[in-house]
A and B are shown apart, each in its own frame.
Chain A
Amino acid sequence: MISFYFGRLMEIFPFFLKGLWMTSKIGFISLVTCTLIGFILGIFRSSDSTILKRMVGVYVAFVRGTPFVVQIFIVFFILPEWGVQLEAFSAALLAMAIMGSAFICEIVAGGINSIPKGQWEAATSAGLNRIQQLRLVIIPQAMKVILPPLVGQYVLLIKDTSVVSVIGIMELTRVGWVTVVRIPEGLMVFTLVGFLYFIISYPLILLSNYLEKKMAV
């Protein structure tokens, strides 16, 4: 019986690859957007302006304080009520961007805050403006602190893409969920799904471990 189901599973394997492609697509797009927004928010969060700091702080607290599923439901169900129509794919990307950028913002702000005040002062007295200070002096040094947890956050982001399956996006987890109805071998189907996730996220985990060792002073 098991070998029969295994054969069936192999027949629909391309379906799984499609899911893997969708997962990688969502993962990659949200990785890029989250990094961009996260860096901008992180710079705001570590700035001297109290209002900016507070506003970003509220946003981060809201995102970190609620589960990702609830955030997806809020984006997918509530925004249409307020007149913003989104299809599932863009809703998923939006939810991922909101969630990921808040976490990356905290990492970036932590990295920037770890740079001693003297570096800022030196950059100011060298006649650099605010953007040059960040670009040439602060960020390159902060990268050492930012990079290891950032890669760790990427792993979490890729794993969190599994949650967007709840709004019906045909990514890897959803494919497994649909398959298990037809092939009632839960262990086999979800071992395959887990294995495919493992292939994407394990190299990133190794990279994160490597960076952590390398960047440790």
Chain B
Amino acid sequence: MLVDFNFRVILEYLPLFLTGLRSTFFIAIVSIALALITGIIACSCRISGIKFIKYPAIAYIEIVRSTPLLVQIYFLYFGLPTLGLKIPEIQTGILALMLNSGAYMAEIIRAGINSVDEGQIEAGISSGLNYVQRMRLIILPQALGVTIPPLLGQNIVLVKDSALLSLISVMELTRCGQTMTSERFMPTEAFLTVAFFYMCIYFCLKALADWSQRKLIFREAY
């Protein structure tokens, strides 16, 4: 069992794990930023009254939400080359994470906007504000507080999802564990170390999400 847990091997492979960790960080940060932009655009299309852009946005969100991320990753990984697009695996992975998380973020933002009371909007209309002013001055400031905690939660999911990129041979944290397993055949050491690093990221992000929940949700109650 854990009696012959070999710390020396872990120490030997630590530089590899640290590069993996850095790569996971890089993938996560880039995809979170891109997913947020995608989410905002998709959400604005989703709530707009123009059918021409509303229905494609609905289709995008529903398709992403009802298929597994792994299938989406493989779709891009095996599909893009047949279209003549040859991009590195890491970019394919970031693209997949961006499209996947973007759809979930669009739904989170939409839920935030919908949570603003109907009366607020009516009050805005009767004060003579137009649509953009209502959005900017009344709806978005109130929606922001409700939106940020679940968005941070989605970021936790995204970091964990980035582990799936190891299956298209992107050199990130999980891939490092696989490499160590295939070189030394020490899966216990390899995967428990990987799990440990993910737990560290998880606890940091969780603390951030809980803090924002306390700060933002209660302020809204006043």
A-side interface residues toward B, CB under 8 Å?
61-62, 64-71, 73-74, 77-78, 81-82, 155, 159-163, 165-166, 172-173, 176-177, 180, 184-187, 189-191, 193-194, 197-198, 201-202, 205
| Chain A residues whose CB sits within 8 angstroms of the CB of B162 once the complex forms | 67
| Chain B residues whose CB sits within 8 angstroms of the CB of A77 once the complex forms | 181, 187-188, 191
A55 CB to closest chain B CB, in angstroms? 17
Bound complex: CA of A67 vs CA of B163, how far in Å?
6
Binds A, one of B35-43, B58-66, B144-152: B58-66
B202 and A176 contacting across the interface, CB-CB below 8 Å = no
Which residue of B78, B177, B206 is within 8 Å of A190 (Cβ)? Answer: B78
B126 CB to closest chain A CB, in angstroms? 27
A74 and B77 contacting across the interface, CB-CB below 8 Å = no
Known pairs A177-B74, A180-B74; A162 contacts B68 (CB<8 A) = yes
Which residue of A73, A177, A193 is within 8 Å of B177 (Cβ)? Answer: A73
Known pairs A67-B163, A67-B198; A190 contacts B71 (CB<8 A) = yes
A159 and B82 contacting across the interface, CB-CB below 8 Å = no
Bound complex: CA of A62 vs CA of B192, how far in Å?
11
Which residue of A69, A74, A194, A201 is within 8 Å of B163 (Cβ)? Answer: A69
A81 and B67 contacting across the interface, CB-CB below 8 Å = no
Residue of B nearest to A179 (CB): B78
B125 lies within 8 A of chain A by Cβ: no
A176 and B191 contacting across the interface, CB-CB below 8 Å = no
| Chain B residues whose CB sits within 8 angstroms of the CB of A64 once the complex forms | 202
| Chain A residues whose CB sits within 8 angstroms of the CB of B77 once the complex forms | 186
B129 lies within 8 A of chain A by Cβ: no
Q: How many contacts A-B (CB < 8 Å)? A: 132
B-side interface residues toward A, CB under 8 Å?
1, 62-63, 65-72, 74-75, 77-83, 160-164, 166-167, 174, 177-178, 181, 187-188, 191-192, 194-195, 198-199, 202-203, 206
Which residue of A71, A73, A185 is within 8 Å of B82 (Cβ)? Answer: A185
Which of B77, B164, B191 has most A Cβ within 10 Å? B191
Residue of A nearest to B164 (CB): A69
| Chain A residues whose CB sits within 8 angstroms of the CB of B177 once the complex forms | 70, 73
Bound complex: CA of A65 vs CA of B203, how far in Å?
7
| Chain B residues whose CB sits within 8 angstroms of the CB of A66 once the complex forms | 160, 194-195, 198-199, 202
Bound complex: CA of A71 vs CA of B160, how far in Å?
11
B166 and A180 contacting across the interface, CB-CB below 8 Å = no
Interface pairs (24), CB distance under 8 Å: A61-B202, A65-B198, A65-B199, A67-B163, A67-B164, A74-B195, A77-B191, A78-B187, A159-B68, A159-B69, A160-B68, A166-B167, A173-B71, A176-B71, A176-B74, A177-B74, A186-B79, A186-B82, A187-B78, A190-B71, A190-B74, A194-B71, A197-B67, A205-B62
Q: A65-B203, A70-B174, A184-B82 are known contacts; what are 10 more A-B pairs with Cβ within 8 Å?
A: A61-B202, A65-B195, A73-B191, A74-B187, A81-B187, A82-B1, A159-B69, A165-B70, A180-B74, A198-B63
Bound complex: CA of A68 vs CA of B69, how far in Å?
12
A83 CB to closest chain B CB, in angstroms? 8
A70 and B70 contacting across the interface, CB-CB below 8 Å = no
B202 and A65 contacting across the interface, CB-CB below 8 Å = yes
| Chain A residues whose CB sits within 8 angstroms of the CB of B65 once the complex forms | 155, 205
Residue of A nearest to B64 (CB): A194
B183 CB to closest chain A CB, in angstroms? 14
Bound complex: CA of A142 vs CA of B76, how far in Å?
42
Bound complex: CA of A60 vs CA of B202, how far in Å?
12
A194 and B78 contacting across the interface, CB-CB below 8 Å = no
Which residue of B70, B181, B203 is within 8 Å of A173 (Cβ)? Answer: B70
Residue of A nearest to B201 (CB): A65
Bound complex: CA of A173 vs CA of B67, how far in Å?
11
B208 CB to closest chain A CB, in angstroms? 14
